[in-house]
Structure 1
Amino acid sequence: MSVQWFPGHMHATKKAILERIKEIDVVIEMLDARLPGSSANPMLAQLTAGKPTLKVLNKQDLADPARTALWLAHYNAQPDTRAIGLHAGTVAPARALIAACHELAPHRGGMVKPMRVLIGGIPNVGKSTLINTLVGKRATKTGDEAGITKQEQRIALADDFYLYDTPGMLWPKIVVPESGYHLAASGAVGRNAYDEEEVALELLKALKGPYGAQLEARYKWGWTAEAVARCKEDELLTAVGRKRGALLPGGRLNAQKAAEILLTDFRTGALGPITLETPEEHTRWLQAALQHEADLAAERKARQAARRGGSRAAPGTA
């Protein structure tokens, strides 16, 4: 299955960013700290190329601290880029992003040259919650469904600091399969774009090795972490369902219900602090996906050339 979700309002967001970016000093990209590579939008990077960027790893309270450190180091090593971790509901750390923006654009500030910052990210990454925390009131709508914010909003965080909030945006084609599954597992993708059971199986594939002990702690199967790691994903999903009573008449597994239970436990943090990918893993997945796309393009080009050659070689008609 290929997870893809790009509703119509996301086309409007792309256009709005192109119009706004000319006057922007710093771009803040909100990332999900549980999937920092998969939640980084390549289309946003393309639209805002050349602008200093602050990567905010949000929901870090739900993420694995050791892996968060790896991702912060990864992004901080990139040119014109800073990265910080945040929990959007905490006031003091949230204000750190204002100082970080001034570090990235030290020539901006004051009433003559106010700081102009564009903030973007994937749907359901916690952007609206962060903004509401910053301004101390309900400035934007929030919710646990993807696609709550529908249009750009300008918010004054200070007399000389303007924040332009854009709707959550994915990109038209997610080429990295693992990223598609991770985005779906996090709730960044609309529910009609994926199959819960398939996403739950892929989530278990990512969890069973590094986080087997946390799965056991949550579901209390009586297994060691090593035993969890050796299990097949469908066996683990069955075990989740049986432990949580997700059964059909006759004791058969209700796989759909079991998948929903697992996904909810991941999204709410009930499984403990988890990060689904490391920088090394995501780089490897991306390279493999780009090579696959290049191979497909070469195959299409070869077929088109063969058809053109066959057409030229075909005998004419009288």
Structure 2
Amino acid sequence: MSIQWFPGHMNAARKKAEEAMENVDLVIEVLDARLPMASCNPIVEQLRRFRNRPCLKILNKSDLADPAVTEAWCAHFDAQPDTTAYAMTTKKPADVARIIPMAKKLAPHRNDATKPLRMMIMGIPNVGKSTLMNALLKRRVAKVGDEPAVTKTQQRIYLSNEVVLIDTPGLLWPKIELPSDGLMLAASHAVGTNAVIEEEVAEFLAGLLLQRYPQLLTARYGFATAGRDAVGVIEGLAAKRGFKLRGGDMDYEKAAHTLLLDYRSGALGRISLETPDTRTAALAAHAEAMRIKQEQEAAAAAARLEERMRGKRGT
């Protein structure tokens, strides 16, 4: 399943972000610590690099992610120019308090009321931008909800005389190239429910958990994972929880939904859907698939051309 979700308001948000970027000193990109690259918007990278703006990449929800994997991702981002990575959770005020000092280090030339530090907060839908805004300001100024695309307009807020925050709507990109990225985003609730088939997303998640965190499935649901595939995991969950439809058939849809909710809430444990190594492998596999596809399309086009030429010679 190829997942794509780019509502009309996102295109408008992209244009406004592009306009505002000229007058911004620093970009704070909020990522999901469980899928840092899949939740890293290439539009954000394009806009901020065009203006040569440094970036503080916040790996939010780090309390839900695998700690060792998060550490590897922070090292990965820190190795990039003009980039600092910071893993945190908005549930801890001490984590939030470190953001402004880190941001000031990335833009030391903007440090007083005459030249306030202007920061734009960007990220995909439902990654925690609004919650972060409220935590930084220590009051509720941004609407928060467990649904993607809650924020739809850009707003400018003064944290102090020295720091200005520009909040932006959650922004995806028009075409998600890697199918696995779309599935990871959907599993993490960054994509509108009308764009996904929940059972397929749950099967993707179950397959990944079987490969990397089978012990968490056993601990949560009480069945052994040996010999099971992704569908078998969801069926096992349904059996253990007694999810049945009228007539006694298994309620597969409810079991799939439960698996996704348990992952999203952290009830399954601390899980990372991708690592720097799996990301490299996925990109290589995608590039090879695209190369084969292009070769096949070129061969098919050549065959069609040859067929037409034979037809002309025959006449």
Give the equivalent residue in structure 2 for 1:177: 179
Aligned amino acid, residue 235 of structure 1: G
SS in 1 for 2:98: helix
Post-superposition CA distance 1:181-212 (Å, at most 9, x none): 11000000000111111100100111113211
Q: Secondary structure of the equivalent of 1:284?
A: helix
TM-score for the superposition, normalised by structure 1 = 0.91
- Superposed displacement of residue 291, structure 1: 4.1
2:232 alignment partner in structure 1 = 235
Do 1:175 and 1:290's aligned partners in 2 also have CA atoms closer than 8 Å? Answer: no
Deviation at 1:11, TM superposition (A): 0.1
In structure 1, what is the equivalent of residue 248 of structure 2? 251
Corresponding residue of 2:18: 18
Q: In the alignment, residue 9 of structure 2 is paired with which amino acid? A: H
SS in 2 for 1:155: strand
Distance 1:111 1:264 in 2: 45
Give the corresponding residue for 1:108: 110
1:283 Cα offset (Å): 2.0
Correspondences of 1:3-152 after superposition (within 5 Å): 3-49=3-49, 50-152=52-154
For residues 200-211 of structure 1, the aligned pairs below 5 Å read 200-211=202-213
C-alpha spacing 1:307/1:75, structure 2 compared with 1 (3 Å): same
Distance, in Å, in 1 between the alignment partners of 2:236 and 2:301 is 50
Q: What is the SS of the residue equivalent to 1:267?
A: helix
Q: Are the counterparts in 2 of residues 209 and 229 from structure 1 also a CA contact under 8 Å?
A: no
TM normalised by structure 2 equals 0.92
- Of stretches 287-296 and 201-210 in structure 1, the one that deviates more from structure 2 is 287-296
Matched residue SS, 1:249 = coil
* In 2: Cα distance, 1:161 partner to 1:274 partner: 34
**Does 2:281 match 1:284?**
yes
In 2, are the aligned partners of 1:72 and 1:83 still within 8 Å (CA)?
Answer: yes
Secondary structure of 2:211 counterpart:
coil
Amino acid aligned to 1:161: V
- TM-fit CA distance, 1:286: 2.1
Q: Displacement of 1:314 after TM fit?
A: 7.4
3-state secondary structure, aligned to 2:101: helix
The residue identity in structure 1 corresponding to 2:45 is A
Q: C-alpha separation between the residues in 2 aligned to 1:30 and 1:274?
A: 18
Change beyond 3 A, Cα 1:295–1:27: farther
Cα RMSD for the two superposed structures: 2.0
Q: Deviations over 1:164-185 (max 9, x none)?
A: 1110011111111111111000
Structure 2 unaligned blocks of 5 or more: none
> Given the superposition, is the C-alpha separation of residues 220 and 164 from structure 1 closer, same or farther in structure 2, using an over 3 Å criterion?
same
Counterpart code for 1:46: Q
Describe the shift of the 1:264–1:310 C-alpha distance in structure 2 as closer, same or farther (beyond 3 A).
same
Q: Distance in 1 between matches of 2:43 and 2:285?
A: 19
1: CA distance, partners of 2:143 / 2:282? 34
Superposed CA deviations along residues 85-107 of structure 1, whole A, max 9, x for unmatched, are 11112222112111111111111
Aligned residue identity for 1:124: N
Q: Post-superposition shift, 1:32? A: 0.4
Once the two structures are superposed, what CA deviation does each residue of 1:210-260 show, in whole Å capped at 9, x if it has no partner?
A: 211111111112x2xxxx254211111100111122212343221111110
- 1:79 CA displacement: 1.1
